[in-house]
């Protein structure tokens, strides 16, 4: 099999495949590991935190809940690489520290990648694929694309070809004293606006949809807290203008640009004269010829639509890893998305995918550990309180136990919740951590009995302690139907 990409997604998958003993090749167009982090974020600091000091010992599995950036090995020696590289000035690593973190993991765990090998085309080959690359052809039964969202995307607006993309942003001091019009109101738009606050004379952010803030949606949806400063400036009338408007046309003028907008609230047309325009309209995966092969995508970002096991819904045996696994949205309960768009979420998806590939294509299926019935309650409550997979991927990943007639109670590991609730199988239980828009975080328990799944939501707790007497008693009742 072949993995395309050497960012965090491809490296984590390669590591997990090697753990199962699955032979594979990793190819990458880049000269070195690190993917997007060798260029972005533009203002050089990540949004994802790593806490050097946390309630759990560094280098343990439970510590991963507080470290969003390290890749995850199966031994303690290579855990928690990111905090080793940080200097204490911020709990957000710098771009360079993140790149170093990814490269260190690749080096210390000995992941082998063929760098400088660009994937250029894809063809079917019986049940499998032929990949054309800049270094010759690869034939593979299974292929996994971990190519990130690396292709700048701009919407079809008349004149948009004159507008630089986020990826083409100049050094901040070159915007000194200028008016800057930013198309978009997502996190990257606010990242630029925040960085331009000491430089630009005026900053306008415009897009049809009202601004969403993560601290208001109570989820990862919306602008992240670090970049809310321009929003406050706008509210207090400090020179930043935030508008809900569609962009009708961008035209070049002698000194810059003229941007024509229509307000979404029926407020009519507004025209802006500005020295600079930047399209912070996002990135798409570099799909190449995959659409011609039959890979379907959805949404403005054109992320390939996937099954809960990260396989294209339209082209069998073609899988995705890394940020592209957002194309397997899961249950998305209460509208709260997965964390698959960032390392802290998709690193766990890679483990699940590696296990699936090992089992399905290579017949490698190591026996899972078993539990005694009187251990189940304590184990599930401990996982609900501490498991990093459940805390990072709420309503998305679950700890699953299966009641097997021959072996007894099997710990089936971390599985996609959608797979458990929609799939047939032996009686069992899956537990997930879930959240709602009221910012409550609580345990959810799904019991499967005779292929009927029932949902049981347990109460939240102000200290997020799910091992209280109340939780013990409620979970005991929920588990009663299982022998």
Partner 1 sequence: MAATRGELGDKLSNLSLFADLSAAELESVAHIVDERRFAEGERILRQGLSGSGFYVILAGEAIIRVDGKEYGRLGRGDFFGEISALLGDPPVADIVAARELHCAIIPGPALEQFMVGHPQVMFRMLQSEARKLRTATRWRS
Contacting residue, 254, 266, 363, 462, with partner 1 by CB under 8 A? 266
Under a CB-based contact definition with an 8 Å cutoff, are residues 179 and 201 in contact?
yes
Give the C-alpha distances (Å, rounded to integers) separating 439 from 333, 344, 433, 442, 471: 13, 20, 13, 10, 19
307 contacts partner 1 (rule: CB under 8 A): yes
Per CB under 8 A, the segment of 107-115, 142-150, 329-337, 378-386 that binds partner 1 is: 329-337
Under a CB-based contact definition with an 8 Å cutoff, are residues 252 and 259 in contact?
no
Question: Residue 208 or residue 239: which is nearer to partner 1 going by CB?
Answer: 208
How many residues touch partner 1 under the rule CB under 8 A: the total is 43
Under a CB-based contact definition with an 8 Å cutoff, are residues 349 and 325 in contact?
yes
Which residue, 270, 276, 271, 280, is CA-closest to 256? Answer: 276
Beta bridge partners of 258: 251, 273
Q: Copy the structure tokens of residue 83.
A: 């905090």
Q: Copy the structure tokens of residue 55.
A: 């309630």
161 contacts partner 1 (rule: CB under 8 A): no
Give the C-alpha distances (Å, rounded to integers) separating 467 from 112, 383, 474: 42, 10, 11
247 contacts partner 1 (rule: CB under 8 A): yes
In 94-139, alpha helices (H): 95-109
Alpha-carbon span 133 to 117, nearest angstrom:
6
305 contacts partner 1 (rule: CB under 8 A): yes
249 contacts partner 1 (rule: CB under 8 A): yes
Contacting residue, 329, 388, 428, 443, with partner 1 by CB under 8 A? 329
Per CB under 8 A, the segment of 5-13, 98-106, 263-271, 354-362 that binds partner 1 is: 263-271
421 contacts partner 1 (rule: CB under 8 A): yes
Q: Shortest distance, CB of residue 296 to partner 1, whole angstroms?
A: 6
Task: Enumerate residues 189-218 that contact partner 1 by CB under 8 A.
Answer: 207-209
Alpha-carbon span 426 to 308, nearest angstrom:
19
Residue 14 has, within 13 A of its CA and on its CB side, a CA count of 27
Please provide the distance, in angstroms rounded to a whole number, between the alpha carbons at the two ends of the chain: 41
Question: Residue 117 or residue 157: which is nearer to partner 1 going by CB?
Answer: 157
Alpha-carbon span 217 to 125, nearest angstrom:
46
Which residue, 159, 174, 157, 164, is CA-closest to 253? Answer: 159
The 3-class SS string of 13-52 reads HHHHHHHHCCCCEEECCCCCCCHHHHCCCCCCECCCCECC
Question: Residue 158 or residue 425: which is nearer to partner 1 going by CB?
Answer: 158
152 contacts partner 1 (rule: CB under 8 A): no
Question: Residue 90 or residue 314: which is nearer to partner 1 going by CB?
Answer: 314
Distance from chain centroid for Cα 74: 21
Contacting residue, 144, 434, 443, 479, with partner 1 by CB under 8 A? 434
Contacting residue, 262, 360, 370, 382, with partner 1 by CB under 8 A? 262
Question: Residue 140 or residue 336: which is nearer to partner 1 going by CB?
Answer: 336
Which residue, 193, 278, 218, is CA-closest to 441? Answer: 218
Question: Residue 87 or residue 265: which is nearer to partner 1 going by CB?
Answer: 265
Contacting residue, 133, 202, 229, 264, with partner 1 by CB under 8 A? 264
Under a CB-based contact definition with an 8 Å cutoff, are residues 387 and 56 in contact?
no
Per CB under 8 A, the segment of 12-20, 123-131, 164-172, 451-459 that binds partner 1 is: 451-459
Q: Map residues 379-408 to x or -, x wherever contact with partner 1 holds by CB under 8 A.
A: ----------------x-------------
252 contacts partner 1 (rule: CB under 8 A): no
Contacting residue, 133, 314, 370, 468, with partner 1 by CB under 8 A? 314
Q: Map residues 285-304 to x or -, x wherever contact with partner 1 holds by CB under 8 A.
A: -----------xxxxx----
133 contacts partner 1 (rule: CB under 8 A): no
Fill in the DSSP letter of residue 256. Answer: S
Q: Copy the structure tokens of residue 204.
A: 């306008």
Question: Residue 98 or residue 290: which is nearer to partner 1 going by CB?
Answer: 290
Q: Shortest distance, CB of residue 446 to partner 1, whole angstroms?
A: 8
Per CB under 8 A, the segment of 175-183, 271-279, 306-314, 370-378 that binds partner 1 is: 306-314
To the nearest 10 degrees (0 to 180), the angle between helices 469-479 and 373-386 is 130
360 contacts partner 1 (rule: CB under 8 A): no
Q: Shortest distance, CB of residue 298 to partner 1, whole angstroms?
A: 5
Alpha-carbon span 65 to 77, nearest angstrom:
17
- Point out which residues bind partner 1 (CB under 8 A): 155-158, 207-209, 244, 246-249, 260, 262-264, 266, 296-300, 305, 307, 313-314, 329, 331-336, 395, 421-422, 434, 436-437, 453-455, 457
């Amino acid at each position: 099999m072949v993995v395309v990409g050497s960012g965090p997604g491809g490296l984590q998958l390669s590591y997990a495949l090697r753990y199962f003993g699955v032979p594979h090749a990793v190819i990458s167009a880049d000269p070195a590991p690190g993917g997007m982090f060798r260029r972005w974020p533009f203002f050089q600091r990540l949004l994802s935190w790593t806490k050097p000091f946390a309630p759990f010992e560094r280098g343990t599995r439970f510590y991963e809940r507080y470290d969003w950036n390290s890749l995850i090995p199966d031994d303690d020696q290579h855990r928690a690489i990111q905090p080793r590289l940080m200097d204490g000035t911020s709990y957000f690593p710098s771009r360079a520290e993140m790149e170093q973190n990814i490269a260190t993991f690749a080096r210390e765990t000995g992941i082998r990648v063929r760098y400088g090998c660009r994937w250029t085309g894809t063809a079917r080959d019986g049940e499998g694929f032929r990949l054309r690359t800049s270094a010759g052809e690869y034939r593979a039964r299974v292929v996994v694309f971990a190519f990130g969202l690396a292709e700048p995307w701009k919407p079809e607006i008349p004149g948009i070809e004159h507008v630089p993309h986020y990826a083409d942003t100049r050094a901040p001091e070159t915007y000194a004293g200028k008016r800057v019009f930013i198309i978009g109101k997502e996190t990257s738009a606010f990242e630029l606006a925040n960085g331009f606050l000491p430089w630009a004379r005026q900053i306008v952010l415009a897009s049809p949809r009202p601004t969403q803030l993560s601290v208001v949606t109570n989820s990862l949806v919306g602008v992240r807290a670090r970049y809310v400063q321009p929003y406050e400036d706008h509210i207090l009338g400090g020179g930043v203008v935030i508008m809900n408007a569609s962009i009708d046309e961008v035209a070049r003028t002698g000194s810059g640009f003229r941007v024509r907008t229509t307000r979404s609230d029926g407020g009519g047309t507004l025209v802006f004269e500005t020295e600079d325009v930047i399209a912070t309209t996002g990135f798409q995966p570099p799909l190449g010829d995959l659409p011609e092969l039959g890979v379907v995508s959805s949404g403005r970002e054109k992320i390939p639509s996937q099954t809960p096991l990260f396989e294209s819904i339209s082209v069998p045996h073609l899988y995705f890893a890394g940020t592209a696994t957002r194309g397997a949205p899961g249950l998305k309960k209460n509208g709260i998305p997965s964390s698959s768009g960032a390392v802290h979420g998709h690193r766990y998806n890679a483990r699940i995918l590696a296990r699936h590939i090992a089992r399905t294509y290579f017949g490698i299926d190591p026996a899972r550990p078993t539990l005694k019935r009187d251990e189940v309650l304590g184990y599930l409550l401990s996982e609900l309180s501490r498991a990093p997979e459940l805390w990072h991927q709420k309503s998305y990943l679950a700890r699953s136990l299966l009641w097997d007639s021959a072996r007894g109670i099997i710990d089936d590991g971390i599985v996609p919740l959608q797979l458990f609730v929609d799939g047939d199988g032996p009686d069992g239980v899956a537990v997930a951590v879930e959240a709602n828009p009221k910012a409550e975080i609580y345990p959810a328990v799904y019991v499967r009995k005779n292929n009927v799944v029932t949902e049981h939501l347990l109460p939240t707790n102000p200290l997020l302690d799910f091992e209280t007497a109340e939780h013990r008693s409620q979970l005991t009742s929920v588990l009663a139907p299982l022998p």
